[in-house]
């Protein structure tokens, strides 16, 4: 008692003297504590994150651009603070956006050189909602170019490195967002997910995320891939922050320009997802374990994942949860992936995005132009990875008029039905499986192999991803490579999944920052020029890839 009073006294003394904010592992709650009770200004908070980006970004190359309005926003929030008018659930919370979210203040590049000057005239509705809730947009994060793979390398942003092991990728496609949040470059970041992209980066960076039910959040103003599969959502260091970010991103609700939002049921309108925190108990829950979503062949890449999952299952059982092994043949990732419809939807969606009158700045007006190398000055402006050629070439000649489109959509309906049947017959709350059957792949790999995201991508079901362990430490990975698990639920059960995710966060206590991210970075001022001049500082691509000639 006496000691703790003494300790708090010294803490107060320290903060009164330095008035600096410690951004490391900061949460929405810790930022709010500092600005409302700790004599820290919103500008101090923003600068503490910007200073970390300035000094540490070269360890991971996660950031593409800083937002020129970031500090002006912080100052405006400080004025509200001093006139006791601070409102908004994300008041003064620094956020990074995956660079496929439209913003009026910075180009929206999707990591592609041909889109380096592409200037949306308005923020995406989700970005506007974050700002209205008081968030400070610090800048944009690198991604796998155009969000088309999971390696997080792009012609404009170069390669993002895994902060826990610089010989590995950070997962993807939202890999810049994942690496940035792992390194405390912001409190949370946004991502998008067409197959795996909101789950693979949290899995590879010891973070939490939600892939919301398709339709919960409008996708307007976000560089598209697939009408059927795209969703958007947050990545954070705690489940509480995922829930708080989801509240704001989902607050846009119905958007006539994204008709998937018409599916939102009345029961999901105006839900406060933070209320689910602490409302669940693991005891008595029934989880289906997808036994076919593992690679049980022993290898140094698979064993750590299998060990972490086996330990997790044992811990859940010890808490009183029932684990039901699910062996049904429908849960076959290879067979499910055949019904991926991206290639059939991509060209139409991108043509609509690129030809929108509200998209300003120099940019290709169609997908074929983005990928053309024969018109003057446009050559070599996209990344070529062996294998992606085939994807793009097929997308360029495919459309929703292809004969296979409607039959594939009907197979997706069958899959949704089969998954619902399994939930009901086995009386399940959620399905569990590793996000990736092996550790996140090395830099220079041809693809992010072994991921299990396709089930939620096609069914549109919600998934919460949680950290469950690390591989054994090595020279390259001093505290090991992070491993994550998906908690897959029925449509619109975000609250339940977040409640379960929080119980698991508390029980497992896995998350650790990367070693270099524990460095205390001296907070320095940022001039407007410095904000605007920011460049990715290791913006190179590994030699095994090249810039395009198609």
Which residues are annotated as catalytic?
Answer: 98, 173, 197
Interaction with ligand NAG in 302-321: which residues (CB under 6 A)?
Answer: 302
Q: Which of 24, 286, 416, 511 binds ligand NAG (CB under 6 A)?
A: 286
Sign of the CA dihedral with 39 first, then 43, 46, and 49 last: negative
Q: Does 376 bind ligand NAG (CB under 6 A)?
A: no
Strand partners, 384: 546
If the CB atoms of residues 267 and 329 are measured against ligand NAG, the closer one turns out to be 329
404 binds ligand NAG (CB under 6 A): yes
Give the C-alpha separation, 511 to 517, whole Å.
13
d(CA 135, CA 97): 11
Residue 341 beta carbon to ligand NAG: minimum distance, rounded to whole angstroms: 9
The Cα 460–Cα 232 span in angstroms is 12
Among the listed residues 299, 406, 524, 540, the single contact to ligand NAG using CB under 6 A: 299
Residue 220 in the binding site for ligand NAG (CB under 6 A): no
Q: Please, what is the angle between helix 70-82 and helix 42-56, to 10°? A: 160
**Segment near ligand NAG (CB under 6 A); pick from 113-121, 137-145, 278-286, 541-549:** 278-286
Out of 301, 345, 351, 494, the only residue in the binding site for ligand NAG (CB under 6 A) is: 301
Question: With respect to ligand NAG, which residue has the nearer C-beta, 80 or 122?
Answer: 80
Q: Does residue 527 touch ligand NAG according to CB under 6 A? A: no
- Nearest approach, Cβ of 401 to ligand NAG (angstroms)? 8
User: Contact at 8 Å (CB) between 221 and 127?
Assistant: yes
Considering only 202-210, 284-292, 312-320, 453-461, which stretch makes contact with ligand NAG by CB under 6 A?
A: 284-292
User: In this structure, which long-range contacts are made by residues 392-397, counting pairs with CB atoms below 8 Å and at least 24 apart in sequence?
Assistant: 392/148, 392/550, 393/550, 394/343, 395/342, 395/343, 395/346, 395/347, 395/367, 396/347, 396/367, 396/368, 396/371
Cα separation values, 298 from 187, 272, 307, Å = 37, 43, 11
The verdict on 475 binding ligand NAG (CB under 6 A) reads no
Q: Which of residues 188-217 bind ligand NAG (CB under 6 A)?
A: none
Is residue 515 part of the contact set for ligand NAG (CB under 6 A)? no
Please provide residue 483's backbone torsions phi and psi, each rounded to the nearest 5 degrees: -130, 135
Residue 155 dihedral angles phi and psi, to the nearest 5°: -65, -30
Could you tell me if 250 and 211 are in contact, meaning their C-beta atoms sit under 8 angstroms apart? no
Contact stretch for ligand NAG (CB under 6 A) within 275-283, 299-307, 382-390, 413-421: 299-307
Number of residues in contact with ligand NAG under rule CB under 6 A: 39
Residue 395 CB, nearest approach to ligand NAG (Å): 8
Span near ligand NAG by CB under 6 A; candidates 202-210, 267-275, 329-337, 493-501:
329-337
Task: Specify whether the backbone of 277 is left (phi greater than 0), alpha (psi in -120 to 50) or beta.
Answer: beta
Among 327, 417, 524, 549, binds ligand NAG (CB under 6 A): 327
Choose between 270 and 320: whose C-beta lies nearer to ligand NAG: 320
Separation between Cα atoms, residue 313 and residue 304, nearest integer Å: 14
Minimal distance, residue 267 CB to ligand NAG, in Å: 19
Distance, in Å, from the CA atom of 45 to the CA atom of 516, rounded to the nearest integer, reads 20
8 vs 427, beta carbon nearer ligand NAG: 427
Q: Which of 37, 87, 374, 509 binds ligand NAG (CB under 6 A)?
A: 374
Q: Which stretch binds ligand NAG (CB under 6 A): 79-87, 120-128, 152-160, 197-205?
A: 79-87
Burial class (CB in 10 A: 0-12, 13-18, 19+), 265: exposed
Which of 188, 433 has the CB closer to ligand NAG?
433
Give the shortest CB-146-to-ligand NAG separation in angstroms: 16
Q: 74 and 45 in contact (C-beta within 8 Å)?
A: yes
Applying the rule CB under 6 A, the residues between 227 and 246 that interact with ligand NAG are 227
Output the smallest distance, CB 236 to ligand NAG, in A: 26
What is the three-state SS of 393-460? Answer: HHHHCCCCCCHHHHHHHHHHHHHHHHHHHHHHHCCCCEEEEECECCCCCECCCCCCCCECCHHHHHHC
Interface residues toward ligand NAG, by CB under 6 A: 16, 19, 39, 58-59, 79-80, 83, 85, 227, 259, 284-286, 295, 297, 299, 301-302, 325-327, 329, 332, 334-335, 343-344, 368, 372, 374, 394, 397-398, 402, 404, 427, 429, 450
């Amino acid at each position: 008692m006496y000691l703790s009073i003494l300790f708090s006294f010294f803490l107060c003394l320290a903060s009164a003297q330095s008035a600096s904010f410690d951004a490391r592992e900061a949460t929405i709650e810790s930022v709010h504590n500092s600005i409302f009770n700790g004599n820290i200004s919103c500008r101090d908070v923003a600068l503490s994150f910007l200073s970390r980006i300035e000094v540490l970004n070269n360890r991971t190359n996660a950031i593409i651009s800083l937002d020129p309005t970031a500090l002006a926003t912080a100052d405006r929030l400080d004025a509200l603070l001093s006139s006791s008018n601070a409102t908004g659930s994300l008041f003064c919370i620094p956020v990074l956006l995956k660079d496929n979210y439209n913003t009026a203040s910075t180009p929206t590049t999707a990591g592609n050189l041909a889109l380096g000057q592409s200037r949306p005239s308005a923020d995406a509705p989700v970005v506007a909602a974050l700002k209205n809730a008081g968030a400070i947009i610090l800048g944009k994060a690198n991604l796998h170019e155009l969000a088309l793979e999971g390696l997080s390398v792009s012609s404009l942003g170069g390669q993002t490195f895994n902060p826990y092991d610089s010989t590995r990728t950070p997962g993807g496609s939202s890999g810049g967002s994942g690496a940035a949040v792992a390194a405390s470059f912001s409190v949370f970041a946004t991502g998008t997910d067409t197959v795996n992209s909101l789950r693979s980066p949290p899995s590879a960076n010891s973070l939490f995320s939600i892939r919301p039910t398709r339709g919960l959040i409008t996708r307007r103003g976000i560089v598209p891939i697939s009408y059927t599969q795209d969703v958007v959502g947050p990545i954070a260091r705690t489940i509480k922050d995922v829930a708080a970010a989801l509240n704001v991103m989902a607050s846009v609700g119905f958007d006539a320009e994204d008709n998937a939002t018409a599916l939102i049921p009345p029961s999901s309108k105006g839900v406060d997802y933070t209320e689910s925190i602490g409302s669940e108990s693991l005891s008595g829950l029934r989880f289906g374990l997808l036994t076919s979503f593992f690679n049980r062949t022993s290898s140094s890449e698979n064993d750590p994942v299998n060990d972490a999952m086996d330990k997790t299952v044992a811990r859940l059982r010890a808490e009183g949860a029932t684990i039901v092994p699910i062996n049904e043949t429908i849960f076959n990732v290879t067979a499910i992936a055949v019904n991926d419809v991206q290639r059939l939807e991509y060209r139409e969606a991108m043509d609509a995005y690129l030809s929108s009158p509200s998209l300003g700045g120099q940019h290709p007006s169609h997908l074929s132009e983005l990928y053309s190398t024969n018109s003057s000055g446009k050559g070599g402006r996209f990344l070529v990875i062996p294998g992606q050629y085939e994807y793009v070439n097929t997308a360029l000649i495919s459309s929703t008029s292809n004969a296979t489109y409607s039959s594939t959509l009907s197979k997706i309906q069958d899959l949704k039905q089969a998954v619902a049947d399994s939930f009901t017959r086995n009386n399940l709350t959620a399905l569990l499986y590793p996000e990736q059957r092996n550790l996140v792949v090395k830099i220079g790999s041809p693809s992010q192999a072994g991921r299990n995201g396709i089930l939620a991508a096609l069914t549109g079901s919600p998934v919460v991803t949680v950290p469950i362990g690390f591989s054994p430490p090595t020279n390259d990975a001093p505290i090991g490579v992070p491993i994550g698990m998906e908690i897959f639920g029925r449509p619109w059960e975000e609250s339940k999944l977040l409640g379960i995710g929080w119980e698991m966060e508390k029980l497992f206590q896995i998350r650790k920052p990367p070693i270099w991210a524990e460095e205390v970075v001296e907070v320095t001022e940022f001039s407007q020029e410095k904000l605007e001049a920011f460049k990715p500082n290791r913006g190179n691509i590994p030699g095994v890839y090249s810039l395009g000639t198609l």
